[in-house]
């Protein structure tokens, strides 16, 4: 363990300070800004899809001009619907759910929480962000090429993704851009993960043992380890996919494949090879998205419950168990791929086992809240919302883990509802909890509590309105990935789709409250003290916002654990309170 030292000078000039900065805080904010742009883009795409699903014949004003081929006259074609779905999934999974909770908050707060003055390799850190941005721009540029974005889904299943433009609009340049974008994203995340791991291992402040690390830091660290392995596998997969598309190799394209009446000039490839490589990354990716949320909730909730998290070491052990098990379950995404039923059972068992540490973590949160005098500020509400949606989405995972049940449900909206709750919405609630909690530290101003609570309740009710009915229509056999529901047995379910579409629009509108709060608070929010939540970890020992070197040239010395709440009669490290002791408070 090495005391952190600052190894680059304070920046001068606008570009060095705000654009090409090597400061981890600026880079963290850049990641969060990128995620904000990405989430708005992804949400607009989801609205277009939902509008089309509910009213497939109704033109969407302006869309025809934006995409003359995919939505002539404003009516979305089935192929363009799939393109929207692909881009929605890719943007949300990679550029929102990975970028914001891990790269964004992790970059900003991991070094501060361990008492370091920056990441271990600041220049690599900066490069990581800029490569991510380029990856995002490459992906988005697919909207502006002649045949539009790829339509093979965020999973890019081969051979559809590998054969080129014969496979349909978007499968030419659009799919190539997708693969290049994801390969670049892998590079960025590998660099980022490397920085997170080395920083955590080597740059902790004096006294900051592993046992004293905040739980959010633990979560980012473990997520980085997962990411290091997962993205190291996805990148080779993308390279092979690009070679199949551009160089005429046959890794994923089988022999004798005829598409659009044309025999594809490939031989002997294995489409399942892509699925194995992709899901070896893809399932851990679920945990890359959600574990930072676990960390944020476990960091934030105790500050409002005024109690330490129940069983912090159990929590860490559970995270490690989840990280390990996440690499043993990828086959459960492939139950319908024709795999040997024995293999399916082998993947089903660890899938069920991984629910055990996840359930234990949930019980730790509930146990922490139980009997606490909870301060119901907005971050705490989003923590409770996180628990709610994570449980709602997690329970449906028990069913999907079993191959026999998954055979029926896999192609239906049941799966869509499941993963949106457990991975998408839960992770978003973690992000919101983090933003409301750390905003005062990042910008020195408080967010409006009133607007925050409105935002929470409307979002909370809204997401249940959008995603809970999906489970029921999935049980009723409503297939996913269809652009419209014209079959007789699906027509009675269309009113449910209309309900979900309205709920999605209203939930989206509720995010305007958040955006308004975010912008207004940045300019006119009440001034924040250094420790407005009376929290204990190191980020609350420094100024709001923190100075360039985080601690004003005085690296902290840590004398205790990260969650000393409920210490009756204790004097807070900032000298004011009586129920908490800060990590940086001098030892008595």
Partner 1 sequence: MTTVVARPPAPPPAVPTPTATERPQPKPARTGVLVGIAAISMSFAAFTSALVVRQGASPDWQHFRLPTILYFNTLLLVASSFTLETCRRRQPPGRPWLYLTLAFGLLFVLGQVLAWRNLAGQGLFLATSPSSAFFYIFTALHGLHLLGGVAGLLYALHRLNRAPGPAGAATLGAAALYWHFMAVLWLYLLALLALRI
Which residues here bind partner 1, judged by CB under 8 A?
Answer: 2, 5-10, 117, 120-121, 190, 193-194, 197-199, 201-203, 228-229, 231-233, 235-237, 239-240, 243, 247-251, 254-255, 267-270, 273, 276-277, 280, 553-555, 557, 586
Cβ of residue 365: shortest distance to partner 1, in angstroms?
31
Provide the 3-class DSSP secondary structure of residue 7: coil
Cβ of residue 519: shortest distance to partner 1, in angstroms?
34
> By C-beta, is 391 or 571 nearer to partner 1?
571
In angstroms, rounded to a whole number, what is the distance separating the alpha carbons of residues 566 and 583?
A: 14
Peptide bond before residue 545 is cis, with ω within 30 degrees of 0: yes
Can you give the C-alpha Rg of the chain in angstroms?
Answer: 24
> By C-beta, is 33 or 574 nearer to partner 1?
574
Cβ of residue 200: shortest distance to partner 1, in angstroms?
10
87 contact partners, CB below 8 Å, separation of at least 6:
42, 45, 139, 142, 143, 149, 150
Cβ of residue 575: shortest distance to partner 1, in angstroms?
11
Query: How do beta strands 564-565 and 262-263 pair?
Result: unpaired
CB 493 within 8 A of CB 485: yes
515 contact partners, CB below 8 Å, separation of at least 6:
none
Q: Which two tokens stand for residue 489?
A: 């047995």
Q: DSSP secondary-structure letter at 423?
A: I
CB 33 within 8 A of CB 515: no
> By C-beta, is 237 or 301 nearer to partner 1?
237
Cβ of residue 268: shortest distance to partner 1, in angstroms?
3
Structure-token match 């309740």, residue found: 457
> By C-beta, is 165 or 276 nearer to partner 1?
276
Cβ of residue 329: shortest distance to partner 1, in angstroms?
17
> By C-beta, is 374 or 585 nearer to partner 1?
585
What is the CB neighbour count within 10 angstroms for residue 211? Answer: 11
Q: Which two tokens stand for residue 466?
A: 């959008």
In angstroms, rounded to a whole number, what is the distance separating the alpha carbons of residues 460 and 73?
A: 35
> By C-beta, is 244 or 539 nearer to partner 1?
244
Cβ of residue 228: shortest distance to partner 1, in angstroms?
5
> By C-beta, is 247 or 523 nearer to partner 1?
247
Among 288, 83, 270, 283, residue whose Cα is nearest residue 185: 288
Helices (DSSP H) in 55-146: which residue ranges? 63-66, 78-90, 105-113, 122-141
Beta-bridged to residue 262, according to DSSP, are 259
Let me know how many helices (H) and strands (E) the chain has, helices first.
17, 4
> By C-beta, is 137 or 255 nearer to partner 1?
255
> By C-beta, is 249 or 529 nearer to partner 1?
249
Cβ of residue 482: shortest distance to partner 1, in angstroms?
31
Beta-bridged to residue 412, according to DSSP, are 479
> By C-beta, is 66 or 255 nearer to partner 1?
255
Give 6-33 as a DSSP string. --SPPP-SHIIIIIS---HHHHHHHHHH
Cβ of residue 225: shortest distance to partner 1, in angstroms?
9
Cβ of residue 572: shortest distance to partner 1, in angstroms?
16
């Amino acid at each position: 363990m090495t005391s952190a030292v600052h190894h680059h000078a304070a920046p001068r000039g606008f570009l060095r300070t705000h654009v090409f900065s090597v400061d981890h805080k600026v880079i963290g904010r850049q990641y969060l800004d990128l995620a904000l742009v990405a989430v708005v883009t992804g949400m607009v795409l989801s609205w277009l899809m939902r509008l089309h699903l509910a009213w497939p014949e109704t033109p969407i004003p302006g869309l025809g001009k934006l995409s003359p081929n995919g939505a002539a006259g404003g009516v979305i074609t089935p192929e363009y619907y799939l393109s929207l779905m692909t881009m929605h999934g890719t943007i949300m999974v990679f550029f929102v759910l990975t970028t914001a909770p891990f790269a964004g908050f992790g970059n900003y707060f991991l070094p501060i929480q361990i008492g370091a003055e920056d990441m271990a390799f600041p220049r690599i850190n900066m490069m990581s962000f800029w490569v991510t941005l380029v990856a995002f721009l490459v992906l988005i540029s697919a909207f502006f090429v002649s045949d539009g974005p790829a339509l093979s889904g965020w999973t890019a299943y081969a051979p559809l993704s590998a054969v080129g433009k014969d496979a349909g609009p978007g499968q030419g340049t659009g799919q190539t851009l997708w693969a290049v974008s994801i390969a670049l994203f892998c590079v960025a995340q590998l660099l980022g993960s490397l920085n997170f791991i080395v920083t955590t291992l080597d740059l902790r402040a004096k006294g900051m043992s592993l046992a004293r690390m905040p739980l959010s830091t633990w979560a980012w660290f473990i997520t980085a380890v997962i990411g290091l392995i997962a993205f190291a596998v996805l990148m080779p997969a993308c390279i092979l996919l690009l070679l199949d598309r551009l160089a005429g190799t046959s890794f994923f394209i089988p022999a004798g494949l005829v598409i659009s009446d044309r025999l594809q000039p490939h031989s002997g490839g294995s489409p399942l090879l892509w699925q194995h490589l992709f899901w070896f990354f893809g399932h851990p990716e679920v945990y890359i998205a959600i574990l930072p949320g676990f960390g944020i909730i476990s960091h934030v909730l105790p500050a409002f419950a005024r109690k330490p998290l129940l069983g912090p070491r159990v929590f860490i052990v559970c995270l490690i168990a989840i990280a390990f098990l996440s690499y043993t379950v990828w086959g459960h995404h492939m139950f319908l791929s024709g795999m040997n039923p024995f293999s399916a059972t082998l993947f089903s068992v660890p899938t069920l086992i991984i629910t055990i540490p996840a359930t234990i973590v949930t019980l730790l949160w509930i146990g922490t809240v139980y009997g606490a005098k909870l301060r119901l500020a907005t971050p705490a509400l989003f923590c409770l919302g996180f628990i709610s949606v994570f449980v709602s989405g997690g329970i449906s995972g028990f069913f999907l883990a079993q191959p026999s049940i998954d055979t029926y449900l896999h192609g239906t909206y049941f799966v869509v509802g499941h993963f949106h709750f457990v991975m998408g919405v839960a992770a978003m609630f973690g992000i919101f909890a983090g933003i409301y909690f750390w905003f005062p530290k990042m910008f020195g101003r408080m967010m409006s509590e009133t607007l925050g609570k409105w935002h929470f309740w409307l979002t909370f009710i809204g997401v249940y309105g959008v995603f809970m009915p999906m489970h029921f229509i999935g049980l009723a056999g409503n297939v996913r990935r269809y652009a419209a529901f014209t079959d007789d047995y699906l027509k009675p379910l269309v009113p449910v789709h209309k309900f979900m579409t309205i709920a999605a629009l209203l939930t989206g509108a509720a995010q305007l409250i958040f955006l308004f709060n975010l912008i207004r608070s940045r300019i006119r929010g009440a001034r924040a003290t250094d420790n407005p939540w009376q929290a204990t970890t190191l980020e609350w020992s420094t100024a709001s916002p923190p100075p360039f070197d985080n601690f004003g040239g005085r690296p902290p010395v840590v004398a205790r654990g990260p969650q000393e709440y409920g210490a009756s009669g204790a004097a807070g490290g900032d000298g004011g309170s009586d129920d908490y002791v800060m990590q940086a408070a001098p030892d008595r």
